[in-house]
Every structure is written in structure tokens, then in C-alpha cells.
Amino acid sequence: MATDLRISNISKIYPGCIANDNVSLQFKSGKIYALLGENGAGKSTLVKILSGVVSPDNGEVFLNEKNLKLSSPLDAKKNKIGMVFQHFNLFETLSVFENLSIDATEDNESLRVRVNEILKKYNFSIDLDVPVLNLSAGQKQKVEIIRCLLRSPKVLIMDEPTSVLTEQETEELFISLKKFCDEGILIIYITHKLKEVLSLCDEVAVMRKGKVVSVSQTQNERVETLANKMVGQKLAKIKKKINISKNKDEIFKVKHLNFYSDDPFETNLVNLNFSVKKGECLGIAGISGNGQNELFQILSGEIITPDTSIIFRNKEIAKLNPKQRREYLMAFSPEDRISQAAVPELKIYENVALNNFKSSNFFEKGLVNEKKIKEHSKKILSDFSVNTDNVELKSQFLSGGNLQKLILGRELITAPELLICYNPTWGLDVGAINYIHETLIKINDQEKSTILISTDTEELLKLSDRIAVIYKGKLSKIMPSEEVTPEKLGVLMGGGSID
């Protein structure tokens, strides 16, 4: 029987952001559909609504013209909607079979028979009696898929399934998905990888800022056209005048940066080499999860990698921890401002004391100099127009914008020669974004350098002098930003290549 899934006028508003804005889409079985978009485009929210994790504020979902009430993941299961999330929901210490039997409704013997049938039919080779922790990421994903198949789903939703897979595993996955599709299962494939859309899917819906901006047949699309739709025609550049002349000194130089991790959810970095000149802003673009986290932590000294060389102001600093690097006048603004850059339970002045550089005298002879820290905090609050003058306030009561101003203020008060920031305006309102952007431009005007790691292409084009793209832990060629177009960025971020 054919399946017909219709999403009608779905809206979901979170405080300060419209995640889904009147989204309507139609899917029919026998095809593989791609849902494509940048970070924050609204894909995940839509998927969460379909799987019952989140309830929409408005709109309806119809399966074969039946109006579905999806108020919990259980409802989605009952209505034969299966979902494989990017992060697996498996008990690592239980065996594969035990994991499958947890929410099964039949006895173990008939379950085993059915599981074996599925294994045979799709040519999956998985030992049912080994603990899940011994499986590769690809095999774990197969266990999740089997769990869905046991319920004979009508709809199967895959959320960025290839982010943890090897090339070989990806190929196997595509073969399986095509088989499921032939058997009449409707497949919705969430991704931001352009090539996968073209090689696997029949139809593609592109989302941007919560809206569906285009629905088209993939055969009519190319990597470039999709990239353009995904990234959008960005606003005209308001870039400061390019103030970098060719003969300026290189202040920061990274050579042979490699990082290897056993954790499948971390990205390995492969031989990154780049340098930053005095007064320059180097932008690093990319869809999140392509190695930015790891790169930031290595640059800040939270992770020390062997054999990497980082030269800063003619000194080798690759072995120094973040506190020592600060003494050489580096500053860091991490992505997670709420629980990493600051501690919500601490008061403002205590959060300021986290940047305890030597000349600050915050801690004289190991003792807290509360007066000094508070004076210093007051100065930051007024210099960076944070919306309070009460240094005893716990930082959890600051809005995102004010918290980010406080953090930038704390980092910049030492007049650092290099600021490394990662998604500095993520989740902020327009006013705060403008303030932060102006601040970052001002830094460059004062002949200080910045490295801006960001997933926001608009921001990168506005602020950077040169831009590189990170994809799967590899860095593209570094391009002067006047040669970069949104389309080029989109292609590189989606794993394509340009000449």
C-alpha cells in the first residue's frame, strides 16, 4: 500500500527564534526525500515534530489522510514512523539482541526468527549476542535500523546518518536505503551534504531560517545550485575596508596540526596548516561537527597534540595550557558560552576572575583579592555596555547577549594580540550581534588579529579578510574574502570542490 505523508502549515517558535515557519511538505512512498539545510535551518525541529519529541505550536501532520496526534515518541512508533537519530540510543553493555528485545512485544524466540530474517534479507552481518560496545558505528546504526524495521515502518527518517560512518559503510547504507524504498517505505533523509543528496535522493526540499525555500527533483540540480539555495543570497557585504597589506608580519602560524580520536563523535583533524597576519581576521567556515570543536580546543590549549607546531609572536606555544597561552596575549571565546566560557552559578565577578592573567593581581600570593576583581569587573560591565552594574549578580541571570559581552570584555581587557572565537553570535538577537561584530572589527582596526570559527556564512563574509572551509577535519585552500561568494562557500561546506 502506498504511503502518503503530508505536513501542513507547521510552526514552532522558541523564545527568540522561529524554528519552523509555516512549513508544508508532501512525501509519497517509493521515493527518497532529502531535507537539506545549514545549521539552525529548522530541519531538526521538523524531524522532532514528526517523531513526537516536540509538539508544534501550529499545524498538522497527516499520514494517508489521517490526522496524527504526535504527543510522544510512542505515538510516532504506533503510527509506524521510524526514526534513526544521529546519536544512537543503545545500551552499550547489553547484547545486540537484548537491545532489540527491550521494547519488543513478542517473545524472544519469534523475535530472534524475525531479526534473522531481516539480517538475511538485507545482507547485514551482525552477531546478535555480542555487546553493543564492540560494534563499529556503522553496525550500531544497523541495529537502530533493525529496531525500526521490526515494527514494519511506513516512514523511516534518517537524521544525518553518515556523519559517523566510513566511506564503505556509507555505501552499504545507501544500498540498504534504496532497497527499503523499493519495498514501499517512505524515506526522509536529513543532511547538509550536497553530494549525498544528488547520489541518493529523488526529491530535495531545502530549508533556510525555518522556511522551506525550494522543493525540486534532484535530477534538475547540481552541487552549485543546491549550495546556493542552502546558503541563500546573502546580504551585500558590509565588510570593513580590507586593511591587510601583503607585507605584514605573520603573528600566528600553525603547522602540521593533526588530531586523532577513538570517539566516533569527535572529528579527526588532518594536517592543518595556516597563519594569521597582524590586524587580520581569518574566517573558518563549515557546517558544525566538521572538526571546529577540536580545532578550537587545540588552538586554546585545552587539548595538547603531539607533533603540532604553533608559533605565536615568534614563540613555540604548542605545549602550553590555556592559562599560559593567555600570558602571551592570546584570548579565547568558546562556542558554549553558557557552561564553558562562564559558570552560570557563579557571580559576575567570579566569572571575570576565570581569566586570571598575571598582571591582573586577582590572586596575590594565592589569596583572593576580591576588591581588585570587583573593580575590574565594574570596568568591564561599563566598557562593554553590559546591561547591569551589579557584579554580585549570578551570571545565569544575564541574557545571552549580555553574557557574551561580558565574556568578550573579560577576554579583551588584556588587550590580546590574537582573539580566537567560535560562533560568537550564536543564538543572539540582532542588537547584540551588531555590537559583537562592531567589537570584532574594532579589534582588527587596532592592528590586533582574530580567528573567527563560525557556522554563520553571513558573519564570515562580513568580518573576515581571508576565509577557509573546514570539512571532515580537512581545511580547504585559504581564499581572500573578496574572491569568495556564498555559492563557493556552500559548495565547500557541503564537501564539494571548486577550481
Each residue 66-95 as x (binds another protein by CB under 8 A) or -, in order, gives: ---x-x---x--x-----------------
Binding residues with another protein: total (CB under 8 A): 32
Strands (E), 100-161: 155-159
Which of 37, 283, 334, 494 is the binder for another protein (CB under 8 A)? 334
Which of 53, 354, 393, 478 is the binder for another protein (CB under 8 A)? 354
Q: Report d(CA 206, CA 15) in Å as an integer.
A: 24
**Contact region for another protein (CB under 8 A) — 151-159, 211-219, 262-270, 322-330?**
322-330
Region of 279 (left: φ > 0; alpha: ψ -120 to 50; beta: rest) is left
DSSP H helical segments within 183-318, as ranges? 194-200, 223-231, 292-300
Which of 55, 136, 273, 324 is the binder for another protein (CB under 8 A)? 324
> Based on CB atoms, which residue is closest to another protein, 123 or 321?
321
Maximum C-alpha span of the chain: 77
Q: Report d(CA 474, CA 210) in Å as an integer.
A: 29
Which of 103, 106, 117, 336 is the binder for another protein (CB under 8 A)? 336
Q: Does 343 engage in binding with another protein (CB under 8 A)? A: yes
> Based on CB atoms, which residue is closest to another protein, 392 or 438?
392
Residue 402 beta carbon to another protein: minimum distance, rounded to whole angstroms: 17
Q: Report d(CA 51, CA 71) in Å as an integer.
A: 9
Q: Does 319 engage in binding with another protein (CB under 8 A)? A: no
Each residue 274-303 as x (binds another protein by CB under 8 A) or -, in order, gives: --------------------------xxx-
Q: Report d(CA 404, CA 383) in Å as an integer.
A: 13
Residue 302 beta carbon to another protein: minimum distance, rounded to whole angstroms: 5
Q: Does 424 engage in binding with another protein (CB under 8 A)? A: no
Q: Report d(CA 430, CA 234) in Å as an integer.
A: 16
Give the H/E segment covering residue 83. Answer: strand 81-84
Q: Report d(CA 351, CA 388) in Å as an integer.
A: 15
Q: Sign (positive/negative) of CA torsion 162, 168, 171, 175?
A: negative
> Based on CB atoms, which residue is closest to another protein, 273 or 390?
390
Residue 422 beta carbon to another protein: minimum distance, rounded to whole angstroms: 11
C-alpha cell at position 103: 521494547
DSSP H helical segments within 206-347, as ranges? 223-231, 292-300, 322-327
C-alpha cell at position 78: 504506533
Q: Does 21 engage in binding with another protein (CB under 8 A)? A: no
Q: Report d(CA 245, CA 87) in Å as an integer.
A: 46
C-alpha cell at position 49: 515534530
Q: Does 355 engage in binding with another protein (CB under 8 A)? A: yes
Q: Report d(CA 274, CA 276) in Å as an integer.
A: 7
Q: Does 350 engage in binding with another protein (CB under 8 A)? A: yes
> Based on CB atoms, which residue is closest to another protein, 73 or 322?
322
Q: Does 366 engage in binding with another protein (CB under 8 A)? A: yes
Which of 12, 43, 48, 326 is the binder for another protein (CB under 8 A)? 326
- Which neighbouring-strand residues pair with 453? 284, 422
Which of 265, 363, 390, 480 is the binder for another protein (CB under 8 A)? 363
Q: Does 304 engage in binding with another protein (CB under 8 A)? A: no
Residue 89 beta carbon to another protein: minimum distance, rounded to whole angstroms: 20
Number of residues in the chain: 499
**Contact region for another protein (CB under 8 A) — 35-43, 151-159, 275-283, 352-360?**
352-360
- Asked whether 180 and 187 are in contact (CB, 8 A), the reply is yes
> Based on CB atoms, which residue is closest to another protein, 100 or 407?
407
Which of 106, 183, 316, 345 is the binder for another protein (CB under 8 A)? 345
Which of 367, 430, 431, 483 is the binder for another protein (CB under 8 A)? 367
DSSP string, 184-215: T-EEEEEES-HHHHHHH-SEEEEEETTEEEEE
Contacts with another protein by CB under 8 A lie at 69, 71, 75, 78, 300-302, 321-326, 332, 334, 336, 339-343, 345-346, 350, 353-356, 363, 366-368
